[in-house]
Amino acid sequence: MDNRPPAIFVGDALGLDFLNSIATPVDMPIDWIDDGEGLLRWLEQAGLAPHETLEAMRAQALPGELDKVADQARHLREWFRDFVRAHKGRPLPANALEELEPLNRLLERNEGFSRIVTGHADGHATLELQPMRKWRSPDALLLPVGEALAQFVCTEDFSTVKACEGPVCTLLFADHTRGHRRRWCSMAMCGNRAKQAAHRHRLKADHE
């Protein structure tokens, strides 16, 4: 039984939410992809793989196989964290491409294709072109993650990428607010803690 709480999605960008798959929401650090089962659960919560595919992976994977993929995912996460931390707060230069070779190597393994399926528009059945993927092995679980990271690199303004100002918080987010004044991963977590700390400070000052 997995007692971990639901994963945290406060990055406002799926690439950052992947980095935030390890965090300290209260007092103890939680790694949502510390094993194969955790990776499957995180992928489902992130909407990166169909439920049926994940169930098939659970049933078909060899012992320890999913744990190895989770280990690869953690290495990918920490490599990308270093990249983001090195470039956040300013526009991403074109020469950063040289640093992204590990991500391009992952993307080269993609076996995506498209299929015509039935859709619905205005109450009528239509034909639509839907992107699909061949999930030949557990390693393929890393491909949608790689695509999310690549999408983030190519579409996000790195000037808006920030680290939460919480004293012990490790969460990253893209600040899409007007005026770019966001300071916290979320008001429910670090924002509320900051308010409480400020309140205690004022009470202490009033009694001195």
Helix residue ranges per DSSP H, the chain:
14-19, 36-46, 51-60, 65-87, 101-107, 142-155, 192-206
Specify the pLDDT at position 197: 53
Specify the pLDDT at position 199: 41
Residues 20/171, Cβ–Cβ less than 8 Å: yes
Domain membership of residue 98 as a residue range: 14-108+139-206
What average pLDDT does range 175-184 have in this prediction? 92
Domain at 72, CATH number: 1.10.3300.10
Q: Is 114 a member of any domain?
A: no
Q: Is 134 a member of any domain?
A: no
pLDDT in tens, 119-134: 888 888 999 998 899 9
Task: For residue 90, give the nearest of 161, 164, 185 by alpha carbon.
Answer: 161
Task: For residue 109, give the nearest of 145, 79, 67, 158 by alpha carbon.
Answer: 145
Q: Is 121 a member of any domain?
A: no
pLDDT in tens, 19-73: 999 998 777 889 999 999 999 999 999 999 999 999 999 999 999 999 999 999 9
Q: Is 8 a member of any domain?
A: no
pTM: 0.86
Q: Is 157 a member of any domain?
A: yes
Q: Say how far apart CA 2 and CA 149 lie, in whole Å.
A: 27
Q: How many domains does the chain have?
A: 1
Q: Is 20 a member of any domain?
A: yes
Q: Say how far apart CA 87 and CA 90 lie, in whole Å.
A: 6
Residues in the chain: 208
Q: Is 120 a member of any domain?
A: no
- Tell me, letter by letter, the H, E, C secondary structure of 124-156: EEEEEEEEEECCCCHHHHHHHHHHHHHHHHHHC
Q: Is 28 a member of any domain?
A: yes
What average pLDDT does range 180-208 have in this prediction? 67
Specify the pLDDT at position 191: 62
